[in-house]
């Protein structure tokens, strides 16, 4: 009886062991077959989840900072996606761009808040990342990151261009929050343009007849290879910018009358055709502009508001024409 019992017991244990080994092998085979490339990202609070194309979770990571934006892009140019995170002002790394590798390690971090702040008055000493794009700006085959950092309470914002290895390649300050950034091919010189729209809090101090309760909204263009300085009216400290005190904007447009906001900004990048900047204005107008900022077509939607200006008057003007 003892022998039989031991035999049965041993057989039972061997059975379990064999079963576990087989299950392990099946698991390893299935795991090996599971696509490892990141195809989707999910996040909640500070937790990032990387998913493959079958929606299987590849890994989960707590970056200890609230996530505001995320994109999937091949930043290190190895043919596989990394996750690029832009954080809010809450957490261990506020206003920071964090690049996570395919396996969930941190490739690099970049804080969008500058080492010193160029504007007088209040600031929160930290930013929130609002816009986040990955675009090959210099056509060398690897992606650069374009992001905007915004003060969560005060008005200033900063456009930063970050190289694939996490270094600052260009910056431009704006005295107001930037709502959207897009890029376009500049056919004439083979470079890319960065076009941004947003609110400018300082213009009412220089535009005659301004009231002090409405803001001016603006649209401007930068050459991605020549980015420096600050937007009009150039109230930032000269000691910060030096001889790059005036910004490198190719043109800077303002919506009139005061309070008229840009509600959407897009670019039509069509092969064989010149790109067009398309904007919609809160008064119901919409425009197509070329990359010189000239209006090439205009329209009026059903939501056009008569009180915001006469029907036959444009609402887009270059800043130098307004300040004449
Ligand atoms: Ca990669
Ligand atoms: Ca590049």
Q: Kindly give the distance from the C-alpha atom of residue 134 to the centroid of ligand 1, in angstroms, as a whole number.
A: 12
β-pairing verdict for 216-223 and 191-200: antiparallel
Pick the ligand that lies closest to the CA of residue 183: 2
Q: Is the pLDDT of residue 322 over 60?
A: yes
* pLDDT for 31: 65
Count CB neighbours of 302 within 10 A: 5
Contact call for residues 146 and 57 (beta carbons, < 8 A): no
* pLDDT for 246: 95
Q: Kindly give the distance from the C-alpha atom of residue 74 to the centroid of ligand 1, in angstroms, as a whole number.
A: 4
Pick the ligand that lies closest to the CA of residue 37: 1
The first and second tokens of residue 182, run together, are: 């897009």
Query: 190 — alpha (psi -120 to 50), left (phi > 0) or beta?
Result: left
The burial of 129, by beta-carbon neighbours within 10 Å (0-12 exposed, 13-18 middle, 19 or more buried), is given as buried
Q: Kindly give the distance from the C-alpha atom of residue 58 to the centroid of ligand 2, in angstroms, as a whole number.
A: 28
Pick the ligand that lies closest to the CA of residue 73: 1
Average pLDDT over residues 23-31: 70
Contact call for residues 131 and 147 (beta carbons, < 8 A): yes
Categorize the per-residue pLDDT at 32 as very low, low, confident or very high, splitting at 50, 70 and 90: low
Angle at 247 between CA 243 and CA 248, to 5 degrees: 100
Mean pLDDT score of the chain, rounded to an integer? 91
Bigger pLDDT: 8 or 131? 131
Q: Kindly give the distance from the C-alpha atom of residue 70 to the centroid of ligand 2, in angstroms, as a whole number.
A: 20
Q: Is the pLDDT of residue 110 over 80?
A: yes
Average pLDDT over residues 141-162: 96
Q: Kindly give the distance from the C-alpha atom of residue 134 to the centroid of ligand 2, in angstroms, as a whole number.
A: 9
Q: Kindly give the distance from the C-alpha atom of residue 101 to the centroid of ligand 1, in angstroms, as a whole number.
A: 7
The first and second tokens of residue 123, run together, are: 């600031």
Q: Kindly give the distance from the C-alpha atom of residue 52 to the centroid of ligand 1, in angstroms, as a whole number.
A: 15
- Containing 150, the helix (H) or strand (E) segment is strand 144-150
Q: Is the pLDDT of residue 260 over 50?
A: yes
Q: Kindly give the distance from the C-alpha atom of residue 136 to the centroid of ligand 2, in angstroms, as a whole number.
A: 4
Q: Kindly give the distance from the C-alpha atom of residue 147 to the centroid of ligand 2, in angstroms, as a whole number.
A: 15
Residues 6+ apart with CB under 8 A from 28: none
Which pLDDT tens digit goes with each residue over 186-200?
877 778 999 999 999
* Range with the largest mean pLDDT of 92-96, 239-243, 304-308: 92-96
Share of residues in the chain with pLDDT > 70 (%): 91
Q: Kindly give the distance from the C-alpha atom of residue 141 to the centroid of ligand 2, in angstroms, as a whole number.
A: 5
> pTM for the complete prediction?
0.88
Q: Kindly give the distance from the C-alpha atom of residue 319 to the centroid of ligand 1, in angstroms, as a whole number.
A: 42
Q: Kindly give the distance from the C-alpha atom of residue 83 to the centroid of ligand 1, in angstroms, as a whole number.
A: 9
Average pLDDT over residues 163-178: 96
- Report, in this order, helix, strand and coil percent for the chain, each rounded to 5: 15, 40, 45
* Ligand 1 ion: Cβ-proximal residues, 5 Å cutoff: 74, 76, 78, 80, 82
Average pLDDT over residues 15-43: 79
Q: Is the dihedral of CA 312, 316, 318, 321 positive or negative?
A: positive
Q: Is the pLDDT of residue 168 over 90?
A: yes
Share of residues in the chain with pLDDT > 90 (%): 76
* pLDDT for 129: 98
Average pLDDT over residues 64-87: 97
Q: Is the pLDDT of residue 71 over 70?
A: yes
* pLDDT for 273: 83
CA-based nearest residue to 166, from 147, 181, 184, 153: 147
* pLDDT for 1: 46
* pLDDT for 213: 93
Q: Is the pLDDT of residue 264 over 60?
A: yes
Q: Is the pLDDT of residue 148 over 90?
A: yes
Rounded Cα gap, residues 130 and 184, in angstroms: 20
Contact call for residues 216 and 189 (beta carbons, < 8 A): no
How far, in Å, are 45, 60, 222, 228, 275 from residue 192 at the CA level? 34, 35, 9, 15, 11
Q: Is the pLDDT of residue 122 over 70?
A: yes
Q: Kindly give the distance from the C-alpha atom of residue 96 to the centroid of ligand 1, in angstroms, as a whole number.
A: 20
Q: Is the pLDDT of residue 269 over 90?
A: no
Contact call for residues 201 and 155 (beta carbons, < 8 A): yes
Q: Is the pLDDT of residue 3 over 60?
A: no
């Amino acid at each position: 009886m003892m022998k039989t019992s031991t035999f049965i017991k041993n057989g039972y244990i061997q059975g379990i062991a064999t079963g576990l080994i087989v299950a392990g092998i099946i698991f390893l085979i299935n795991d090996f077959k599971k696509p490892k490339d990141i195809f989707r990202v999910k996040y909640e609070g500070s937790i990032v989840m990387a998913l493959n194309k079958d929606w299987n979770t590849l890994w989960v990571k707590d970056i200890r900072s609230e996530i505001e934006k995320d994109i999937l892009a091949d930043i290190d140019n190895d043919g596989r996606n990394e996750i690029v995170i832009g954080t809010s002002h809450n957490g261990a790394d506020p206003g920071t761009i964090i690049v996570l590798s395919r396996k969930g390690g941190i490739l690099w971090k970049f804080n969008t808040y500058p080492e010193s702040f160029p504007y007088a008055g209040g600031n929160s000493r930290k930013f929130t990342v609002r816009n986040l794009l990955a675009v090959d700006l210099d056509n060398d085959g690897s992606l650069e990151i374009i992001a905007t950092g915004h003060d969560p309470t005060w008005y200033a914002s900063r456009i930063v261009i970050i190289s694939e290895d996490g270094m600052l390649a260009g910056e431009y300050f704006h005295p107001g929050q930037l709502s959207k950034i897009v890029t376009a091919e500049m056919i004439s010189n083979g470079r890319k343009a960065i076009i941004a729209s947003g609110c400018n809090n300082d213009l009412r101090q220089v535009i005659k007849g301004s009231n002090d309760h409405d803001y001016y909204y603006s649209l401007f263009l930068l050459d991605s290879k020549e980015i420096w300085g600050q937007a009009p009216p150039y109230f930032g400290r000269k000691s910060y910018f030096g001889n790059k005190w005036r910004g490198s904007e190719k043109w800077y447009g303002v919506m009139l009358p005061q309070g008229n906001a840009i509600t959407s900004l897009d670019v039509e990048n069509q092969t064989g055709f010149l790109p067009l900047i398309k904007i919609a204005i809160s008064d119901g107008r919409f425009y197509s502009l070329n990359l010189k900022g000239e209006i090439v077509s205009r329209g009026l939607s059903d939501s056009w508001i008569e009180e915001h200006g006469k029907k036959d008057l444009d609402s887009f003007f270059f800043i130098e024409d307004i300040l004449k």
